[in-house]
Amino acid sequence: MSQNQNQSQNQGRSAGLEGPGAVRPEVAGARSATGVTISGLHKSFGDNEVLKGIDMSVAPGEVVCLIGASGSGKSTLLRCVNRLENPDAGTITVGEHEATHPDVNLDAMRRQIGMVFQQFNLFPHLSVLENCTITPRRVLRQSTAEAEAEALAQLDTVGLKHLADRRPDQLSGGQQQRVAIARALTMKPQLMLFDEPTSALDPETVGDVLASMRKLAQAGMTMLVVTHEMGFAREVADRVVFMDQGLVVEEGPAAELIGDPQQPRTQDFLRRVLHPLGE
Ligand SMILES: Nc1ncnc2c1ncn2[C@@H]1O[C@H](COP(=O)(O)OP(=O)(O)O)[C@@H](O)[C@H]1O
Ligand SMILES: [Mg+2]
């Protein structure tokens, strides 16, 4: 798909970031046509029921931020979407794949999904470029030249092309996380799952990671993002979902949910996140 198509289909995204008709940043990859639908999702570990009937969706090209206290089940939910966990009940569809169907082609489904974790898990003995080419070469059977061209394009997207020859330990945490994002993008995913991608980073490197994620959002990627970065959620997310104790308590447009939450539990959580000293 051309950038022009991307631009016209993305009008209206992220109000306040840019005016109508603003030039979209160059991001390798096209607007995603894949969404996620979750209904009646239950998951227990032993007698600990972690997900108690979750219904939520992410439309193609939509950015949804998932917020909630530690232990509320956010990571488990994300892991169920690409079947790193097996749900006990409920259905999940990712584009044309029914993740919860017994006959689902997990390899094909997972190829559509990029996941970025708190810990970036780069191979320490490989260069940045090699970290980004190894999977496309092995799984997509790309030639070295093809994989390197794609990897450099994605590294350029996250502003790190000039560090392609470095080893991960020569990079800051934020730079390593941007490499992890570029690495995920080289597989040409239709859906990106982020699980607290900036929680382990030094504060001064968080901004560049969020900026890379914003760029991806503006390019039209479908994104489900677990984060405590309320500024990012307010600015970039189309919707915010608040989870507590395994249930969706409240969801809505980002500005409304963060600015004017209706449920007492949402109000309490946001008060603690936005005003930790009680001011
Ligand atoms: N693999 C697991 N085995 C047993 N318990 C787990 C496992 N993964 C998560 N849990 C439990 O599930 C609950 C929710 O965890 P999690 O999904 O990580 O929440 P969050 O990401 O919102 O902090 C916690 O009580 C956690 O201890
Ligand atoms: Mg978690």
Predicted structure pTM score: 0.90
Ligand 1 neighbours (beta carbon < 6 A): 45, 48, 50, 68, 70-76
What is the distance between the alpha carbons of residues 96 and 271, in angstroms, rounded to a whole number? 39
Kindly state the tokens that stand for 33. Answer: 């046509």
Instruction: Residue 249: count other Cβ atoms within 10 Å of its Cβ.
Output: 18
Interval 209-218 mean pLDDT: 96
Query: Among 39, 38, 11, which residue's Cα sits nearest to residue 24?
Result: 11
pLDDT confidence bin for 10, thresholds 50/70/90: very low
Q: Within 13 A of 19's CA, how many CA atoms are on the CB side?
A: 0
Of all protein residues, the one whose alpha carbon is nearest to atom 24 of ligand 1 is 71
Instruction: Work out the angle at residue 124's Cα, subtended by the Cα atoms of residues 120 and 128, and round it to the nearest 5 degrees.
Output: 75
Collapsing DSSP to helix, strand or coil, 273 comes out as helix
Interval between CA 41 and ligand 1 midpoint (Å): 15
Tell me how far the alpha carbon of residue 214 is from its chain's centroid.
Answer: 10
* Confidence (pLDDT) at 3: 40
What is the distance between the alpha carbons of residues 153 and 208, in angstroms, rounded to a whole number? 17
pLDDT digits (tens, 9 = 90+) for 33-82: 899 999 999 999 999 999 999 999 999 999 999 999 999 999 999 999 99
Residue 248 has pLDDT above 50, yes or no: yes
| Sheet-wide strand order for 48-58 | 48-58, 36-45, 89-94, 97-98
What is the distance between the alpha carbons of residues 180 and 197, in angstroms, rounded to a whole number? 10
Interval 12-28 mean pLDDT: 40
Pocket test for ligand 1, best of 45, 228, 248, 249 (most atoms within 8 A of CB): 45
Burial 30-50 (b: 16+ CB within 10 A, else e): bbbebbbbbeebbbeeeeeeb
The label of the residue with tokens 């929680």 reads 199
